[in-house]
Amino acid sequence: MDAGPGSADNGKRSHPPRWNGEPGRPGCSSALLSPPRFSSLRHRKITFDRASGLVEVLFDQLSAEDEGSYTAQLKDGRAKNQFTLVFVDEKFRETLALVQKNRRDHKRKSGPYFEEDLSWSVNEDCELVIKCKVTNTHKDTSVKWFKEGVAVTRVVYDQSSGVSTLTIPQVTKKEAGSYRAVVTDGRGEDVSTLELLDDEYDKLLQQLSKQCETPREWHCLGHILVPQTLEAEVVGIGTRYLSQGTKDRPGSLEVATP
């Protein structure tokens, strides 16, 4: 007996209950039951291969109503036997979820779809980069981004590679939120989401802290952090930092090494 989840062809046909019994002989017949008793229907087809002893039920579209216990009865003259597949609870839910996923994937990939979902990274300039990649596109395919339901316009989409990016030079709390990208054309659409909230936003801040130990608004010379509002001059073997105004102004700084 094989109670494997089977497969899905073109997102439709699935092959859950399958039984392997003894090879049949002439005059041997079979019947399938799943109370109430049923036979081949529009969305269910029963096959029995006498040579191999394989009894199979093909479901065109597996649904919740197909959950149950399936019993195959074998008769050979006066002799008879039967075996049962209990196709319920977790085993059925796992199979149904797999079939539904395959069906969605088949429908999704008939048009443009996301080859890589929305994800974020921090580049060498300490900028936040959110990107995705679409495939199976046409010249009329469009990619649109939204944050909290509001259109995002600073997105770059390279149609030749399918890569779409949003670059944020300086991260603030307003960058936290739900991002959604939609790729669409006349054949259909696909959606990708990124929840840059709570733990995920904390991960971003940790990455920024780890990768960009020096805040962007500061320059680092030697072991001294200098705000961008200061200008630096190197005089001989010394280093001098002067304010944009006169060095007598509040906040001016002059440092020289002997």
Per-residue pLDDT of the chain (258 residues; tens, 9 = 90+): 444 444 444 544 555 455 444 444 444 444 444 444 455 566 778 888 888 888 888 888 888 888 888 888 878 788 888 888 888 999 899 999 999 888 888 888 899 999 999 999 999 999 999 999 999 999 999 999 999 999 999 999 999 999 999 999 999 999 999 999 999 999 999 999 999 999 999 999 999 988 886 444 444 444 443 444 444 443 333 334 444 444 444 444 444 444
Where b means 16+ CB within 10 Å and e means fewer, 129-143 reads ebbbbbebbeeebeb
Helix, strand, coil content of the chain in percent (nearest 5): 15, 45, 40
Question: Would you state the pLDDT for residue 39?
Answer: 54
Nearest to 145 by CA among 154, 158, 137, 136: 154
| Short-list 67, 63, 58, 66, CA closest to 14 | 58
Give the C-alpha separation, 1 to 71, whole Å.
11
- What is the per-residue pLDDT for 80? 85
Closest CA to 143 of 107, 181, 110, 109: 181
pLDDT of residue 63: 86
Domain 8-108 CATH assignment equals 1.10.730.10: no
Whats the size of the chain, residue-wise?
Answer: 258
The encoded tokens of residue 145 equal 């981004």
Cα 181 to chain centroid distance, Å, stands at 12
Task: Delimit the domains of the chain by residue range.
Answer: 8-108, 113-211, 217-258
Residue 175's SS3 state is helix
Could you tell me which CATH class the domain 113-211 is placed in? mainly beta
CA distance 163 to 167: 13
Tell me whether strands 113-122 and 79-87 are parallel, antiparallel or unpaired.
unpaired
Pairing label, strands 163-168, 8-9: unpaired
Q: What is the pTM of this model?
A: 0.52
Assess whether the region 8-108 and the region 113-211 belong to the same CATH fold. Answer: yes
Q: In this predicted structure, what is the pLDDT of residue 15?
A: 52
